[in-house]
Structure formats: structure tokens, C-alpha cells
Amino acid sequence: MKRPVLPDPCPEWLASLDEAALHQALLDRVEAAWQLCRHYHPELPRPMVWCDLRGKCAGQAHYGRGGLRFNRVLYRENRQAFLTEVVPHEMAHWLVRHLSDGHRARPHGREWRTVMERLFGLEPRVTHRFDVGRASPTPYRYHCGCQEHFFTSRRHSLARNGRRYRCLSCAQTLVYQPFVEHGCVVAST
């Protein structure tokens, strides 16, 4: 495997970025990946970029909307890996889709793997290994006597306003348990 073509961003620099600068770093990385792809496919349209993806997915090439969607929470928590792996991953999808037979290619098929390896110099991994606890659409953790349960924002709000939920297995009332990170409670009320 050859070295990644796009230079790795400095971890200290990434860690120092505020929300606006972090968003600009993402846009700059998408632009650099797009420019690299244009060396091989000059007609490749520039993708729009949104940070509106939620849940466990880090990124998505959305052809109907004409661009790339990214998960803001996962990006904020995994800045280095996001810029070095997720952006090229989604740009590879964007490029393959716009090739003459791209609409027939399998999402993580031969064409996509070739772009990842030969163009971006990266191992063609299909999934990420990010902690998706706070990015999940069910980020509120409750427990009972036998297991953990994860609530959506709506169900969590109902529980905070007095609604009681019971475990279907042990019949105990579910109790809210905030996430603990490095000895500190992370507020998620």
C-alpha cells in the first residue's frame, strides 16, 4: 500500500479548532479530494457539502441532493480519522458514481476499491470504528436490573416530565444514567 496522497492534517492544529474553523477544514479537505479526482475525471461536478447526517453513519454520498453529507458529531469527536479516511471514502463514491458506468457499480465494489487504493492511497475500508454513543439517534442511556436501554430525545423528554418506562424483560422501572467520560459526567439532559 502506498502512502496517502492527501497530506495528514496536524493533530494539534485540528484539536485547537473551534466549530467554524472545523467546518472550514472539512470544506477544504473535500475541495482537495475533489481537485485530486478531477485530474482523472475533469468533468466531475463539485459536490455540495452538508453536516446534517445523524446516527451511526459518518458520511454519505447523496446523489439526489448533489453532494456529500457528514455527521457533525462524529467529525467533532474523530477529527483526524474523519479528514484522512471518511472524506476520501465519500469522494471515492462521488467519483465512481459519475463515471460512465458508475450507476451500475456496487457501492463498495471493485471500482470504489480501486479509487481508494490507487487514487487516494488508502486501504478500502467499508466501515469506520468510531464510538457512536453521542452521535446515535438514541443518545440517552437508561438502565434497569438486566440491561441498558437507549432513548430518543422525545422519549427522554417524556421520561424527564414524569412518564415511567419499564423493562419488558425484568419489569423494573428504567432509570436515566448520564454518560460518563474520563471521570466526568457529560450532560445530556
DSSP secondary structure code for residue 104 in this structure: G
What is the model's pLDDT at position 118?
95
Active site annotation includes 123: no
- Kindly name the residue from 43, 90, 111, 181 that is annotated as catalytic: 90
CA angle 173, 174, 175 (to 5 degrees): 115
Cell numbers at 163, concatenated: 412518564
Residues whose CB falls within 8 Å of the CB of residue 179, separated by 6 or more in sequence, listed in order = 133, 134, 141, 185, 186, 188
What is the model's pLDDT at position 185?
38
CB 47 within 8 A of CB 94: yes
Please tell me the distance from the alpha carbon of residue 182 to that of residue 146, in angstroms, as a whole number: 25
Per-residue tens of pLDDT for the chain, all 189 residues: 567 789 999 999 999 999 999 999 999 999 999 999 999 999 999 999 999 887 778 899 999 999 999 989 889 888 999 999 999 999 999 999 999 888 888 989 999 999 999 999 999 988 877 666 666 655 678 899 898 888 777 888 899 999 999 998 899 999 998 754 433 334 444
Q: What is the pLDDT of residues 59-81, one digit of tens each?
A: 999 999 999 999 898 898 889 99
**Residue 144: strand, helix, or coil:** coil
What is the model's pLDDT at position 131?
64
pTM metric for this prediction: 0.70
Q: What is the pLDDT of residues 10-19, one digit of tens each?
A: 999 999 999 9
Burial tier of 95 (Cβ tally within 10 Å: 0-12, 13-18, 19+): buried
What is the model's pLDDT at position 67?
96
CB 59 within 8 A of CB 120: no
Helix axes 87-97, 19-38, angle to 10 degrees: 40
* Cα distance from N-terminal residue to C-terminal residue, the chain: 45
Beta bridge partners of 61: 68
